[in-house]
Amino acid sequence: MRTLGLDDLRLIANIDRSEHVEVEFAVRNGKLVERPVSMTDIPSWDPVGTGPYSIAAQIAFCEPLIAGGASFFGAFDVAEVLGLAVVDVSFEPSIAWLAFLYVSRPFRGRGVASALWDAAVAAAADANATSVYVSAVPTGSAVGFYLSRGCALAEPVHPVLYTKEPDDIHLTCSLG
Ligand SMILES: CC(C)(COP(=O)(O)OP(=O)(O)OC[C@H]1O[C@@H](n2cnc3c(N)ncnc32)[C@H](O)[C@@H]1OP(=O)(O)O)[C@@H](O)C(=O)NCCC(=O)NCCS
């Protein structure tokens, strides 16, 4: 696990974001329910374009957060990047926001996201946050992962983050 900086944002290009999705969730009446999968095979980020699912867009999303003081962590096997996470530890007084967490496809299911989560939580606690907020993609893997880390449905959801990603599953984890 390494703490990274702005110069390391290019590592996002090495993450294979693709995923075969078998389970997808929605929130209905305050409860998680399964819904039909909207995209069975999520592709890798576009390596050349600048659209919303491009590597350029991911870098543009993370860059101002890190420049503004968010922590950036990378999990490596020697020089190979396995996964990356960005946590804005002072998103709001006492609330940290886990803004980005991706493990590259070949390295999933080996505890890499758990290690990144632990680093993000430690950074949040060091900054005196009492909870971590996550706007998670609604896939079974992402939601299953955050529930496994002790997250629960956010009630209420964060108004700004919810407006940006209304199809996401909004979760919070108390650090108390
Ligand atoms: C979600 C994701 C980050 C999990 O990374 P990972 O390194 O495979 O996760 P870990 O190995 O640390 O798994 C820890 C726990 O999460 C849960 N989990 C992980 N993958 C899961 C899956 N596919 N389905 C259900 N639960 C899952 C399990 O409880 C697992 O514990 P276990 O291994 O003892 O069963 C990874 O699948 C990923 O990057 N997916 C694509 C992008 C994404 O969804 N990112 C989150 C954006 S908000």
Q: Supply 127's token pair.
A: 């900054």
Q: Which one of 58, 87, 108, 161 would you pick to mutate in the ligand 1 pocket, going by the greatest count of ligand atoms within 8 A of its CB?
A: 108
Q: What is the mean pLDDT of residues 127-154?
A: 98
Beta-sheet pairing, 71-77 with 152-153: unpaired
pLDDT of 176 above 90: no
Closest CA to 2 of 98, 96, 101, 77: 77
CATH number of 2-174: 3.40.630.30
Is residue 112 within 8 A of residue 75, CB to CB? The reply is: yes
Ligand 1 atom index nearest CA of 137? 48
CA–CA distance, 176 with 162 (Å, rounded to integer): 24
Q: Supply 156's token pair.
A: 């209420």
One-letter-per-residue 3-state SS of 132-176: EEEEECCEHHHHHHHHHCCCEECCCCCHHHHHHCCCCEEEEEECC
Ligand 1 atom index nearest CA of 168? 48
Q: Which one of 145, 148, 168 would you pick to mutate in the ligand 1 pocket, going by the greatest count of ligand atoms within 8 A of its CB?
A: 145
pLDDT of 19 above 90: yes
pLDDT tens column, 22-64: 999 999 999 999 999 999 999 999 999 999 999 999 999 999 9
Q: How confident is the model at residue 175 (pLDDT cuts 50, 70, 90)?
A: very high
Span from the CA of 69 to the centroid of ligand 1 (angstroms): 26
Span from the CA of 134 to the centroid of ligand 1 (angstroms): 14
Domain boundaries, the chain: 2-174
Residue type, 78: V
Span from the CA of 109 to the centroid of ligand 1 (angstroms): 6
Q: Which one of 1, 118, 141 would you pick to mutate in the ligand 1 pocket, going by the greatest count of ligand atoms within 8 A of its CB?
A: 141
Ligand 1 atom index nearest CA of 136? 48
- Provide CB contacts within 8 A for 163, sequence distance 6+: none
| E strand segments, 12-70 | 19-20, 24-28, 31-35, 41-42
Q: Supply 66's token pair.
A: 């890190």
Q: Global pTM?
A: 0.97
Q: How many CB atoms are closer than 10 A to CB 157?
A: 20
Closest CA to 70 of 60, 55, 85, 57: 85
